[in-house]
Amino acid sequence: MKKISVIVPVYNQESIIASNVPKIISIMDTCGFSYEILLINDGSTDNSNNVLKHLIHPEIRIIEKKNQGLGSVLKIGFAKAVGEIFIIIDLDLSYDVQNILRVIELSKNWDCVVCSKYAQSNTYPLFRKILSFLHYQFCDLFFDINVRDMGSGIVMVHSSFVRDQSLISNGFGIHCEFFLSLHKKKARILEIPVKYTHYPGSYRFIFHSIQTVKELFAIVRKQFISD
Of the ranges 2-6, 28-32, 110-114, 208-212, which one carries the lowest mean pLDDT score?
A: 208-212
pLDDT of 224 > 90? The answer is no
Secondary element (H or E) of residue 158: strand 154-158
Scanning 48-152, the segments in alpha helix (DSSP H) are 48-53, 70-80, 99-106, 126-143
**What pLDDT sits at residue 2?**
84
Of 207 and 100, the one with more pLDDT: 100
The average confidence (pLDDT) of the chain is 89
CATH no., domain 3-226: 3.90.550.10
What is the average pLDDT across 151-165? 93
Of the ranges 4-18, 35-49, 102-116, 199-213, which one carries the lowest mean pLDDT score?
A: 199-213
What is the average pLDDT across 73-84? 97
**What pLDDT sits at residue 131?**
75
Q: Where are the domains of the chain?
A: 3-226
